[in-house]
Structure 1
Amino acid sequence: MSAMPRYVPSSTSLHGVRWLRSSRSTGMNNCVETARPGSGPWSGMVAVRDSKNPAGPALLFAPGVWEGFITGLS
């Protein structure tokens, strides 16, 4: 079995997912957006992309890893 990629092109591989931005984000557009693909090979993963470059790559994380990161920030 091959390993899952660490990132995917968000404009093509994650077309149609709903991207969310933090409510704490300012109007400066300098934050990240997250999505949870509901189907396909990345179903169940958390995708994270730079809001300044929505056509750029999205990093993929297992939900527990992303939640651990967010918990570590607070």
Structure 2
Amino acid sequence: MPDLNWQKSSFSQQASSCLYLAAAPDGTVKLRESDNPDVILTTAPATLGALIRGIKAGEFDHIRTA
């Protein structure tokens, strides 16, 4: 895999608890956590965008009980 330009949010203060993103040459988005950087997830930009919009809209702000 070519070298990727990993970026983290400016809101991330500690390097030990960051989510990094990189745009890959094949048009996908790569994600990794700072505490386990060898595990890389791949997604499409539209899918990641839908997740971010859902988070901002509060779609995941509910608690489920068994």
TM-score, scaled relative to structure 1: 0.66
**Could you list the runs of 5+ residues in structure 2 that have no partner in the other structure?**
57-66
SS at match of 1:57: strand
- Residue identity in the other structure for 1:32: L
**Could you list the runs of 5+ residues in structure 1 that have no partner in the other structure?**
1-12
Structure with more of its chain in strand, by fraction = 2
Aligned-pair Cα RMSD in Å:
1.4
Q: Give the corresponding residue for 1:57.
A: 39
Choose between structure 1 and 2 for higher RCO, CA contacts under 8 A separated by at least 6 residues.
1
TM-score, scaled relative to structure 2: 0.73
Greater than 3 Å deviation, 4+ residue runs: none
Give the structure with higher Rg (CA). Answer: 2
Q: How many equivalent residue pairs? A: 56
SS at match of 1:64: helix
Q: Distance in 2 between matches of 1:27 and 1:49?
A: 15
Sequence identity percentage: 30
Q: 1:32-71: CA deviations, max 9, x gaps?
A: 1000112xxxx100000111122x1210101100011111
